[in-house]
Chain A
Amino acid sequence: MNSSNTAQAEGPSAHPQAATLEFREVTKVYPGSAEPAIRGLSFLVPAGHICVLVGPSGCGKTTAMRLANRMIELTSGDILLDGRSVRERRPAELRRDIGYAIQQIGLFPHQTIGENIATVPRLKGWDRARIRRRVDELLELIGLDADMRDRYPAQLSGGQRQRVGVARALAADPPLMLMDEPFGAIDPINRDRLQNEFLRLQREIRKTVVFVTHDIDEAIKMGDRIAVLKKGGLLAQYGPPDELLLQPADAFVEDFVGADRVLKHLSLHRVADAPLDPPAADAGPDAPRVRGSDSLRDALSAILAAGGDRAVVLDDVGEPAATLTIDAIRALTRAEERALEA
């Protein structure tokens, strides 16, 4: 993630900026409500990182996200975008610099896909030629044919609409993106695909992203950092996925990440990450075959299914290249835990 500065320049518009986002003791009390919805929330998202806000319903994660672009006004504390308070800026102008994608997508039914994507560039007064180029670029980026430009949202599938929603949020190349359960309304198979697409996209565009979800698995998959919120908008833990899974801060986080947290942690790592042994002649014909790019979770499952304690790791041409043992998996988990304690 520390390569973000160089990677940014490779974005589709070679826009060099991603912003640092900082929440400072942010509190939100809705009028007429005794209890705050967000209480003293502080965290910092480094430029180019995805920060996932996760928690049970009613924990204030959507409220927290909407405070950043002043869709909801904060009660006390401050939110800084590249060191500058969002309170200093006119809401409409601020929002044009912040990408906004929501679960219900909210495409404008009366506008074509091209017009929808062009929304913020138009508000910013870009000239026609520049807008046209940008729309072409974004359609390609999200993998839609150029002839989709003149279709209406009603003529697209749910997955296509969701992609257009993301493209529209990216259109003016904002340094910060807010995404509220952007893949929540999509069936699991397509959601997985959209998540992968977005992660691939993010490797190119390196935006600072605030991503809201109630799904811990999505949080672990998408987040560079995860903020777990509990009821009343209290921050239970803030850190990278490894930390959440291996060292939950309290019983709430431990319960929220699930009893299979160690397995979830393994799904974050590849077979090649584990300390592998040299290929062994006596691995036996029953030992499962895995590849370096498989997740450790899948490899462990294969080893357990075969009833042994090791798997043969194949190289690109399908020849045995190494051996993965259960001990090696255990060693990796231990090493990660020690690294977190240090």
Chain B
Amino acid sequence: MLLLPLAQNGGFFRDRSADTCVADNGVCPKWAIDHFDRYVDPFFEHLQLVVVSVALGFVISFALAVLAHRRRWLVGPVTQITGILYTIPSLAAFFLLLPLTGRGQTTAIIALTAYTLLIFFRNIMAGLDGVPEEARDAGRGMGFTPRQLLWRVELPLALPAILAGLRIAVTTTVGLAALAFYAGAGGLGESLASQKQFKTNVLLAGGLCVVMAVMLDLLVLVAQRLLTPWSRARTV
């Protein structure tokens, strides 16, 4: 009990010394370390927005792509519709959705999910279209049913393109989610905007976004290496 005021006292002195840096609006590592905890919750809010939106976007696009793979006429309409969704400015999307879904995560997730659809759909289609015709023919000729061919031959061979799409979707969504606070969904964007004149804050919140994007990107990259060992196999 005796130590506590002392510690606070110490803290007070450190804050004093940092204060000049803060007052000068410099880059203050000390301040950053001391106030790091106020970024933890927004970081995970942000991460949750990204993961949920990307996962939803993937599931929807995957279903659309598998459908369009069988029924080719769907490719045009789906590309156009997801293309339109992709071009709506994210800010406008948040505001347009507000009257319908209210402020909060739901609104942000709907808008962010809509953004990933085009990226996923195009990459999954490109992956499926890139499957060598002779592998498909051999598969059919050996007695795969269309469903077996899709799951055992076509999708595994499309995996590099699909995962490339996932990397783009993840990094893009980390950036777009920084605007999600306009929809009342919090995230690192909120921290950033709350003190947007303060350099240290802007650098820290922005930097955490970059760190998150790089981490997720690396995660997918590692998954890709583990899942597609064959894509690196070349003549020795």
Contacts and interface: CB of A to CB of B under 8 A. Distances in A.
A93 interface: yes
B70 interface: no
Interface residues of A, number: 31
Interface string A91-129: 011111000101011111111100000011001000000
B142 A123 contact: yes
A157 B235 CA distance: 8
A168 B157 CA distance: 19
A100 B230 contact: no
Given A105-B134, A110-B157, A120 B234 contact: no
A92 B235 CA distance: 34
A71 interface: yes
Contact of A105 (B138, B143, B144, B159): B138
Contact of B140 (A71, A93, A107, A152): A71
Interface residues of B, number: 26
B141 A71 contact: yes
Contacts of A157: 235
A205 B154 CA distance: 32
Contacts of A92: 143-145
B153 interface: yes
A154 interface: yes
A155 B148 contact: no
Interface in B159-203: 159
B143 A120 contact: yes
B230 A95 contact: no
Contacts of A104: 132-134, 137
B142 A96 contact: yes
B104 interface: no
A107 B231 CA distance: 14
B222 interface: no
Contacts of A323: none
Contacts of A169: 142
A27 interface: no
A94 B141 CA distance: 10
A109 B153 CA distance: 9
B230 A107 contact: no
Contacts of B138: 100, 102, 105-108, 165
A328 B134 CA distance: 50
B140 A95 contact: yes
Interface in A150-187: 151-152, 154-157, 165, 168-169, 178
A152 B143 contact: no
A8 interface: no
A157 B156 CA distance: 23
B1 interface: no
A110 B228 contact: yes
B2 interface: no
B83 interface: no
A100 B142 contact: yes
Contacts of A112: 230
A109 B142 contact: no
B135 interface: yes
A193 B232 CA distance: 31
Given A104-B134, A106-B134, A106-B135, A111 B230 contact: yes
A279 B119 CA distance: 83
A18 to B, nearest CB: 19
Contact of B230 (A69, A93, A154, A178): A154
B142 A154 contact: no
B144 A106 contact: no
B33 interface: no
Contacts of A178: 141
B139 interface: yes
A86 to B, nearest CB: 13
Which 7 pairs across A and B sit closest by C-beta, in order of nearness?
A: A106-B138, A104-B134, A96-B143, A100-B141, A106-B134, A95-B143, A152-B233
20 contacts: A71-B137, A92-B143, A92-B144, A93-B143, A95-B141, A95-B143, A104-B134, A106-B136, A108-B157, A109-B135, A110-B153, A110-B157, A110-B228, A120-B142, A120-B143, A123-B144, A152-B230, A155-B235, A155-B236, A156-B235
Given A100-B138, A108-B138, A154-B233, 4 more contacts: A71-B141, A108-B153, A109-B132, A155-B236
Interface of B: 132-145, 148, 153, 156-157, 159, 228, 230-231, 233-236
Interface of A: 69, 71, 92-96, 100, 102, 104-112, 119-120, 123, 151-152, 154-157, 165, 168-169, 178
